[in-house]
Amino acid sequence: MEVVVILSGIAIAVLIAWVGITALRAASGPGPRETPAIEDVEELEVFLVCGECGTEFRVTRLGELQIPRHCGEPMEVVHRPADTT
């Protein structure tokens, strides 16, 4: 009888540990994100333009693109033809 009690206690402890580890993994979220490779786009003539005031930022490198806000509104991505001079 003692062996059954000991084995059932060990089984319950393993089950509780497994449920706890599974819950912690689920609560911790996904692992670290891969950082995108930085790409040189200077020759493409890409600009971020504010639709309200006309402020322009030239994009020279792209990683993970996050459109900034200017004057409270998201800026627009504008592609212009490269100067051939």
C-beta separation of 44 from 61 below 8 A: no
The per-residue pLDDT for 2 is 92
Q: Does residue 67 lie within any of the structural domains? A: yes
The per-residue pLDDT for 15 is 97
Q: Is the pLDDT of residue 78 over 90?
A: no
Q: How confident is the model at residue 84 (pLDDT cuts 50, 70, 90)?
A: low
User: Domain of 16?
Assistant: 1-31
Which whole number is the average pLDDT over 65-73? 81
Q: Does residue 3 lie within any of the structural domains? A: yes
Q: Which strand (E) or helix (H) includes residue 23?
A: helix 2-28
Q: Does residue 85 lie within any of the structural domains? A: no
C-beta separation of 23 from 45 below 8 A: no
In the structure encoding, which two tokens stand for residue 2, read together?
């003692």
Q: Are residues 2 and 25 in the same domain?
A: yes
Helix, strand and coil in the chain, % to nearest 5:
35, 25, 40
Q: Are residues 50 and 67 in the same domain?
A: yes
User: Which tens digits make up the pLDDT trace of 8-51?
Assistant: 999 999 999 999 999 999 998 887 777 777 778 778 888 889 98
